[in-house]
Amino acid sequence: MPVKEKVGIVVSNKMEKTIVVQIESRFPHPIYSKTIVKTKKYLAHDEMEQCNIGDEVLIQETRPLSKRKRWTLTKILSKSSLIN
């Protein structure tokens, strides 16, 4: 079975070795055809603590690492221009 991967934006890195990644999904409303944007947040493991807020990252599904953390950072796609 293939491993799930998602691309999202880091919205928090305040925890030790953990980042919060926000994933956006866009789809048309079934009746009105207006584009709906839904967001979902995932906790991901960042071993080297190299992510900052605003970075675009690729996360991959893994075994449960804690109560809510089931994803791990695969790579940083683009760094944020914000200075933290």
Q: Which two tokens stand for residue 44?
A: 């991901």
Global pTM reads: 0.89
- Amino acid letter, residue 11: V
> Within 13 Å and on the Cβ side, how many CA atoms surround 42?
24
d(CA 76, CA 46): 11
What does the domain layout of the chain look like in residue ranges?
5-78
CATH number of 5-78: 2.40.50.140
- pLDDT per residue over 41-82, tens digit each? 999 999 999 999 999 999 999 999 999 999 999 999 999 887
Closest CA to 22 of 37, 36, 35: 37
Location of structure tokens 């933290």 = 84
Q: Which two tokens stand for residue 16?
A: 């030790």
